Amino acid sequence: MTQQMTSPEHIEYVLRLGDNALILGQRLSEWCGHAPVLEEDMALANMSLDLIGQARMLLTHAGRLEGRGRDEDQLAFLRTEPNYRNLTLCELPNQDFARTMVRNFLYSSFQKLLWERLMTSSDAELAAIAAKSIKEARYHAQHAGDWVIRLGDGTAESHARAQGALDYLWPYTAEFFAATPVDDTVAAAGVGPAWSELETAWEALVLPVLAEATLTVPARTPFRSYGKFGRHSEHMGHLLAEMQIMQRTYPGAQW
Amino acid sequence: MYTQALDIPQQNTEAKGPRTIENPAYQAEFDAKIDAGGYIEAKDWMPESYRKTLVRQISQHAHSEIVGMLPEGNWITRAPTLKRKAILLAKVQDEGGHGLYLYAAAETLGVSRDELLDALHSGRAKYSSIFNYPTLTWADIGVVGWLVDGAAIMNQIPLCKCSYGPYARAMVRICKEESFHQRQGYDLLLTMMKGTQEQRDMVQDAVNRWWWPSIMMFGPHDKDSTHSAQSARWGIKRISNDDLRQKFVDATVEQAKVLGVTMPDPELKWNEARGHYDFGAIDWDEFWNVVNGHGQGNVDRLAARVKAWDDGAWVREAALEYARKHDARDSQAA
């Protein structure tokens, strides 16, 4: 075990990755049985499963790094809200299919870049998780990107909904790239990139697709969100209340 | 998940699609193939009543799969561990996949998925009544897997050899997944039964609520099942409702003993002479009430399906419009 060499920043970085996957996986699972067409029901369930699978590996790894005996479920279900480090974007309600697809596209494009870099992490376990997750992120970005184009360049209504979704979500993407001391430490140790380094590459991935979708990219505003620092939106508490109810109601029970 | 094909007195069974020209020579060929235990394929001639019966049965089955996603989907966001969440999500996704195979099998009989869904949404088509019962606790997820999927498997195994090829082949895949679901449900319950008294009580309560509806899944008694004889003749139905129900009861009672739960039936006991378990009288009023729309979940289940479909209309239109635009652009470029 490498735990004696592990810095708190390293643990937080892995937790952040795990929490992104957990919280977006939870959101996508809400679609199950309610999607616009059966094929999308299955695709959304599949992507949710991929993300929950990533969350299980990452939270297990974070628990081992931490060395306090917390397993994936203790980390997933028994932390308090400020201890979740996911991006605010992941916790926002699904709203409609347009917002769900635009979010998946913005997020999975970012994940694609991140997993590519993490494949060469000095943390061998994280590198192995990245090698598996990159394939999933590529598929998610392809699937969501195709829908963003179809919706943006579809009917007047779908265009308006996709544009509305982009207008709503775009300000939250600034958080992806906000600099943090955690990232600096982790980057210096070769564990993973500082997320702020990925902004140019991310724009190069998403802007052409948004242009093909005939969507207008909003200008950056002073708005900032702080989920990855533990300060979440009002939506997070409700998501956690639902997700945690069994573990909170029956402490210590095995399921 | 599963439905028994059910004959509903007031149901409009009129399905759109090709009309068959009755022809004694073709009929003789069809009968000979059925008698020899062969498969009828989509391009083969078939009597109109055979086609209609299959459309009704396969579409009811498909509808049951997608409505069946709702009671289990009810617990995905609240699953107690990540492993159980992943298992449940994968299971509900499988049910959606079964719906897809089955709608595709029905389409080989000359009806479209949209027509079939319209029949579901307008209340003309039925789905299995079992899904009108609520899933109230996490134990319900295990009991649905064990009893409801267990009953489904009993019903479905004979369908893997039914006379209509596309349906039989879909059922082979479905049965493999269903038996996996049943084992997962049973495993969930075993884990809970090894837990606290509160967890064991939760399992027993779920068994109390699901036992009778599960054995009703085999449909009315043979003497009251109007279309069974014709379906048996056609090789669509290989084993009678009552025989399947008995087989299910015999297998399940033994599993209940291992689990440590009791069935809510004081008359349930081994009959040495018959070599089967005897069980109490089924409350058919309850069964028909739920079939006819008066169960706890009927209104909500159908409303949830209709809402998903209506809310998704703009998405489906956008995909079509995008495809139209691109076809036009491609042909301009050519």
CA atoms within 13 A on the CB side of B167: 26
Q: Is B197 on the interface with A (CB under 8 A)?
A: no
Residue A140 lies in a domain: yes
Residue A24 lies in a domain: yes
Q: What is the CATH number of the domain that holds A119?
A: 1.20.1260.10
Interchain pair A49, B84: CB under 8 A: no
Q: How far is CA B157 from CA B147, B153, B172, B210, in A?
A: 15, 6, 8, 22
Residue A255 lies in a domain: no
| Measured distance CA(B234)–CA(B31) in Å, rounded | 8
Interchain pair A42, B96: CB under 8 A: yes
Average pLDDT, stretch A37-49? Answer: 97
Nearest residue, CB atoms, B89 vs list A22, A49, A255: A49
d(CA B76, nearest CA chain A) in Å: 7
The 3-state DSSP class for residue B271 equals strand
Residues in Cβ contact with B276 at an 8 Å cutoff, skipping those fewer than 6 apart: B246, B249, B250, B270
Is the model's pLDDT at B5 over the cut of 70?
Answer: no
Q: Is B138 on the interface with A (CB under 8 A)?
A: yes
Mean pLDDT across chain A, nearest whole number? 97
- Count of pairs with CB atoms under 8 A, one residue in A, one in B: 140
Residue A186 lies in a domain: yes
Residue A114 lies in a domain: yes
Model pLDDT, residue B17 = 53
Is the model's pLDDT at B64 over the cut of 70?
Answer: yes
Model pLDDT, residue B128 = 95
Residues in Cβ contact with B284 at an 8 Å cutoff, skipping those fewer than 6 apart: B220
Q: Would the pTM of this model clear 0.80, i.e. be above it?
A: yes
| Measured distance CA(B290)–CA(B297) in Å, rounded | 9
Residue in chain B closest to A48 (alpha carbons) equals: B89
Is the model's pLDDT at A104 over the cut of 70?
Answer: yes
Mean pLDDT across chain B, nearest whole number? 92
Q: How many structural domains is chain A composed of?
A: 1
Interface of B with A in 22-61 (CB under 8 A): none
Of B310, B322, B312, which is closest to residue A155 (Cα–Cα)? B322
Residues in B touching A151 (Cβ below 8 Å): 315, 318
Print the domain residue range for A43: 4-249
Q: B20: pLDDT confidence band, cut at 50, 70 and 90? A: low
Q: Which of A169-178, B9-18, B93-102 has the lowest mean pLDDT?
A: B9-18
d(CA B41, nearest CA chain A) in Å: 26
Nearest residue, CB atoms, B191 vs list A39, A41, A255: A255
8 Å CB contact between B142 and B186: yes
In which residue are the tokens 């909003």 written? A218
Q: B332: pLDDT confidence band, cut at 50, 70 and 90? A: confident
- pLDDT single digits (tens) A4-17: 468 999 999 999 99
Residue A49 lies in a domain: yes
Interchain pair B86, A33: CB under 8 A: no
Residue A169 lies in a domain: yes
Nearest residue, CB atoms, A36 vs list B196, B316, B325: B316
Residue in chain A closest to B68 (alpha carbons) equals: A33
Average pLDDT, stretch A198-209? Answer: 98
Model pLDDT, residue B232 = 87
Model pLDDT, residue A3 = 44
Q: Residue A123 — left, alpha, or beta (φ > 0 → left; ψ -120 to 50 → alpha)?
A: beta
10 Å CB burial of residue A8 (0-12, 13-18, 19+) is: exposed
The 3-state DSSP class for residue B182 equals helix
Is the model's pLDDT at B8 over the cut of 60?
Answer: no
Residue A254 lies in a domain: no
Is the model's pLDDT at B11 over the cut of 70?
Answer: no
Element spanning B270, H or E = strand B269-271
| B215 or B11, greater pLDDT | B215
8 Å CB contact between B162 and B171: yes
Interchain pair B86, A45: CB under 8 A: no
